[in-house]
Amino acid sequence: MLHLMKYDVKVKLHNFNMLFWPLVFPLLLATFFYFAFGKIEEADFETVPVAIVEEQGQAADKEFLEFLDTMEEDDSNLIHVESMDEKKAVSELKSKKISGIYYVGETPTLTVGGVGMGESILQSLLESYLDGKQTMMKIAENHPEGLQNAAAQMSDYQDMVEQVSLGGKTTDGNSQFFYALIAMGCLYGCFIGFGSALTLQANLTALAARRCVTPTHKLKLILSEMLTSFGIHFINIIILLLYLRYVLQMEFKGEMPQMLLVSFIGCMIGVSMGIFISSISKFGEGVKIGILLGISMVCSFLAGLMNSEMKFVVERYCPIINRINPAALISDAFYCINVYDDPARFRRSLIILTVMSVVLLLGSFLAVRRERYDSI
């Protein structure tokens, strides 16, 4: 058995399809995602330039000017404020050098030159200032003794607001892409399973025929192929997880044993899908690879690999697909560990994946264990 496994591992490690698609491709895609999303994030937080124009004949709202100073000096570098006369400000707004103009009189107003992230930020700042000012005025009127305390609390406003999930863990808008990517990596184990099954069925390749006429029991050959396929692909996914965590610095907040459990079952479904597709039909090798690639990509797409909204769209209009799509189940299990903290949903995903794997493996086993064929 060790003899078989030693060479099965060597064969798999030297086979392009068995190495590139399940290991190298997900690593490349992860790197691509990292740089693509990194740029989006940088773009999102670009400092917004804004002009201040003091209105003639009105007393300027000093608190608002102080508020803007505070925001400018904040570590987030959200805005950059510059005082100028109205003519110059309008000119710069037209030439898009600034995103808006705060007219500071008794009540500050905002003029923007378009619609976008910067304009929205300026609008939000103004609204939050006006809301805060109104609140403070009401407190001053009704509970003047609490004014100092209220002012202190409002100054902490930003620190109090953080986007959290129901499970209490911080969400990351991009994490859905990476969970779908890991799911895709798991499904790409189908290429390893596919290659294994090709060398087990005498009606598919001469190599398999040669192995089938030896005195080595067919079950031993099957067992060796399956064990090495699962083992190698599990290591592939561990490498992917380590790469995401330590090279791309992605934060996994779930426990590592649970992550590994999902990865292992994900590998099982990927490899068994490959063995199954390879075993059940007599299509050519190219056609079968096309089928496997198609299934993996469609499942990954529906799980949110290309568009993070897709999984939620599917959940809204046809939730059954998310219950049977292995990529959606794998990414959902990762999401359950890292975001939702929902053990019931986590267990459900794993049970469905395990049942699917067992069914595929059983079907594959029945097809592969045949020892005599109608034609070869």
Partner 1 sequence: MIKIENLVKRYGKLLALDHLNLEIEEGEIYGLLGPNGSGKTTAISCMLALLKYDKGTISIFGEEMSPDNYGIKQQIGIVLQNVAVFDELTVYENIDYFCGLYVKNSQERKKLVAEAIEFVGLEEYIKMRPKKLSGGLLRRLNIACGIAHKPRLIIMDEPTVAVDPQSRNRILEGIQELNRQGSTIIYTSHYMEEVEQICTKIAIMDHGRSIAVGTKEELKSMIKTGETVTIEAVVLGTDQIKDIRLLPHVFDVKYDEQVLTVRCTGAKHNLIRILNYLQENEISFGRVFSELPTLNDVFLEITGKELRD
Residues found near partner 1 in the complex (CB under 8 A): 3-4, 7, 10-15, 202, 205-207, 209-218, 371-376
**Min dist. Cβ of residue 230 to partner 1 (A):** 19
**Min dist. Cβ of residue 224 to partner 1 (A):** 11
In this structure, are residues 354 and 268 in contact, taking their beta carbons and an 8 Å threshold? yes
In this structure, are residues 176 and 185 in contact, taking their beta carbons and an 8 Å threshold? no
Q: Toward partner 1, which CB reaches closer, 57 or 286? A: 286
Bridge partners (DSSP) of residue 81 are 50
Count of beta carbons in the 10 Å neighbourhood of residue 177: 21
Q: Toward partner 1, which CB reaches closer, 19 or 110? A: 19
Q: Are strands 48-54 and 79-83 parallel, antiparallel or unpaired?
A: parallel
Strands (DSSP E) contained in 226-302 are: none
CA distance 180 to 330: 8
**Min dist. Cβ of residue 172 to partner 1 (A):** 40
Count of beta carbons in the 10 Å neighbourhood of residue 168: 10
Question: ∠ CA 277-271-283 to the nearest 5 degrees?
Answer: 20
Q: Toward partner 1, which CB reaches closer, 207 or 318? A: 207
**Min dist. Cβ of residue 187 to partner 1 (A):** 23
**Min dist. Cβ of residue 214 to partner 1 (A):** 4
Q: Toward partner 1, which CB reaches closer, 100 or 195? A: 195
**Min dist. Cβ of residue 369 to partner 1 (A):** 10
Q: Toward partner 1, which CB reaches closer, 9 or 154? A: 9
CA distance 44 to 46: 6
Q: Toward partner 1, which CB reaches closer, 219 or 313? A: 219
Question: ∠ CA 58-70-46 to the nearest 5 degrees?
Answer: 105
